[in-house]
Amino acid sequence: MDKFRIRGGKPLKGRVTISGAKNSALPCMAAAILTSEDITLHNLPYVRDIITMRRLLEDIGAHVLTPELRTHKISAAHIELQAAPYDLVKTMRASVLALGPLIARFGKARVSLPGGCAIGARPIDLHLAGLTKMGAEVFLEAGDVIARAPEDGLKGAEISFEKISVTGTENLMMAATLAHGRTVINNAAREPEVKDLAELLNKMGARVRGAGTPTIQIEGVEGLSGAQHTIIPDRIETGTFIVAAAITNGELEIKDCNPEHCNRIIGKLREVGVEIEEVNQSTLHARRGPRGLHAGDLRTEPYPAFPTDMQAQYMALMTQATGHSVITETVFENRYMHASELQRMGARIQVSHDKAIVDGPGKLIGARVQASDLRASASLVLAGLVADGETTIERVYHIDRGYEKIETKLKAVGADIERIRESVTAPLSSARDDAATA
């Protein structure tokens, strides 16, 4: 398994370009299952999860062409298998996004129940409850979820989420596009990625209204057609690089981002001393402010609040801020795996239930640390960039799932970081060769 070796202490300076949002690309790729016509997606991030979703689509019979690295042309004209197998779902929970489109178009679906993961149990009960309300028969069989629509197809329904779920909202929105009648989703997720998916669905001929608000209305239609769509920039990668500029006391120009999707991230980071200038609609300028970093409490909540996917990166930053920061994680029940690794680098952090208290500033010393999940890995990279000495981060396949060539982007702005390839994991570049020949 690949590792990163980082020698800290170098302020980052220069320009980074943000890639497409993984969490928009994944549902948009799944949406291709809803039609027999071609769906062409541009600005896909070149990350492992996209490769996994492509494999899932091909395994069920879709054809995926990659005319260029970040463009996929997907044809689901000949889907033979209405199933997402365990070996794919266990590596990527977002495979469950095949469930809604498969049952909507084919009336049946078999999707392996995703196991828990490092950050929590992450059940899909809300997805299944919504499909049941739309008339689907849902039952478990040997670890798989089997969902069957009535003979005459799914019916529109009023669905109220007791808990906000991003992929739950996305799955049901996709299922509702081909249901008979109107579906109303209450307490819907409002993330920009939900809105981006709705824009693609409407380009395909769906009738989705209210995406981005707590109430989404979908009028079912007979069928959907092909479309082209460009994926929105990744707001979490954007936030991660803003933190990278601040934690290294450097200065970064961040291109091809969407500051509008980062309002609470920008607002909170400004509160703790990060200087962020919105240069234009797709460019930010970030650096540590002249008064340095100071502690700030944080509570993660669904969009438009501060995102849970930025909590680990924020924690790394607060290790360098003056004072005590109380972080409260409200979305996932176990999203502090990075804290123990940061402690091994000298950070003073106390974790208790949903709270983590960071006592800063504290010098970080390079160490051998282990990545546990995607965003925890990012926080370890950020800590390594500011730590004295050398940090080795193991199991960086976690970070490859959601950050496109992060070491290349960091090296280009002055970081002393290198990837140490271990022969076991097929390097991403081989997937690039595969993509190039598709």
Instruction: Tell me how far apart the alpha carbons of residues 135 and 324 are, in angstroms, rounded to a whole number.
Output: 51
Which of 28, 117, 257, 262 is the catalytic position? 117
Tell me the closest approach of the beta carbon of residue 216 to ligand EPZ, in angstroms.
15
The reply on whether position 140 binds ligand EPZ by CB under 6 A is no
The reply on whether position 288 binds ligand EPZ by CB under 6 A is no
The reply on whether position 204 binds ligand EPZ by CB under 6 A is no
Site string for ligand EPZ, 296-315 (x = CB under 6 A): ------------xx------
Closer of 122 and 203 to ligand EPZ (Cβ): 122
Closer of 173 and 387 to ligand EPZ (Cβ): 173
Q: Work out which of 10, 73, 127, 268 binds ligand EPZ, going by CB under 6 A.
A: 127
Q: Looking only at residues 3 through 32 of this chain, which bind ligand EPZ when binding is defined by CB under 6 A?
A: 23, 26
Closer of 134 and 321 to ligand EPZ (Cβ): 134
Closer of 166 and 415 to ligand EPZ (Cβ): 166
Closer of 23 and 52 to ligand EPZ (Cβ): 23
Q: Work out which of 4, 241, 306, 332 binds ligand EPZ, going by CB under 6 A.
A: 332
Give the interface segment with ligand EPZ, choosing from 28-36, 119-127, 243-251, 380-388 (CB under 6 A): 119-127
Q: Work out which of 18, 50, 94, 318 binds ligand EPZ, going by CB under 6 A.
A: 94
For 434: left if phi > 0, alpha if psi spans -120 to 50, otherwise beta; the answer is alpha
The reply on whether position 194 binds ligand EPZ by CB under 6 A is no
Nearest to 155 by CA among 205, 94, 197, 103: 103
Closer of 98 and 295 to ligand EPZ (Cβ): 98
Tell me the closest approach of the beta carbon of residue 178 to ligand EPZ, in angstroms.
21
Is 257 a catalytic site residue? Answer: no
Instruction: Tell me how far apart the alpha carbons of residues 213 and 190 are, in angstroms, rounded to a whole number.
Output: 5
Closer of 321 and 371 to ligand EPZ (Cβ): 371
Give the interface segment with ligand EPZ, choosing from 77-85, 131-139, 161-169, 381-389 (CB under 6 A): 161-169
Give the interface segment with ligand EPZ, choosing from 163-171, 178-186, 205-213, 356-364 (CB under 6 A): 163-171
| Number of residues binding to ligand EPZ, judged by CB under 6 A | 24
What's the CA angle centered on 240, arms 233 and 27, to 5 degrees?
A: 40
- The 3-class secondary structure across the chain, one letter per residue, is CCEEEEECCCCCEEEEECCECHHHHHHHHHHHHHCCCEEEEECCCCCHHHHHHHHHHHHCCCEEEEEECCEEEEECCCCCCCEECHHHHCCCHHHHHHHHHHHHHHCEEEEECCCCECCECCCCHHHHHHHHHCCCEEEEECCEEEEECCCCCCECCEEECCCCCHHHHHHHHHHHCCCECEEEEECCCCCHHHHHHHHHHHHCCCEEECECECEEEEECCCCCCCEEEECCECHHHHHHHHHHHHHCCCEEEEECCCHHHHHHHHHHHHHCCEEEEEEECCEEEEEECCCCCECCCEEECCCCCCCHHHHHHHHHHHCCCEEEEEEEECCCCCCCHHHHHHHHCCCCEEEECCEEEEEECCCCECCEEECCCHHHHHHHHHHHHHCECEEEEECCHHHHCCCCCHHHHHHCCCCEEEEECCCCCCCHHHHHHHHHHC
Q: Looking only at residues 343 through 382 of this chain, which bind ligand EPZ when binding is defined by CB under 6 A?
A: 374-375
The reply on whether position 48 binds ligand EPZ by CB under 6 A is no
The reply on whether position 116 binds ligand EPZ by CB under 6 A is no
Give the interface segment with ligand EPZ, choosing from 78-86, 166-174, 224-232, 286-294 (CB under 6 A): 166-174
Give the interface segment with ligand EPZ, choosing from 1-9, 66-74, 162-170, 320-328 (CB under 6 A): 162-170
Which residue numbers are catalytic? 117
Judged by the rule CB under 6 A, the positions of this chain that interact with ligand EPZ are 23, 26, 93-94, 120-127, 163, 165-168, 308-309, 331-332, 374-375, 402
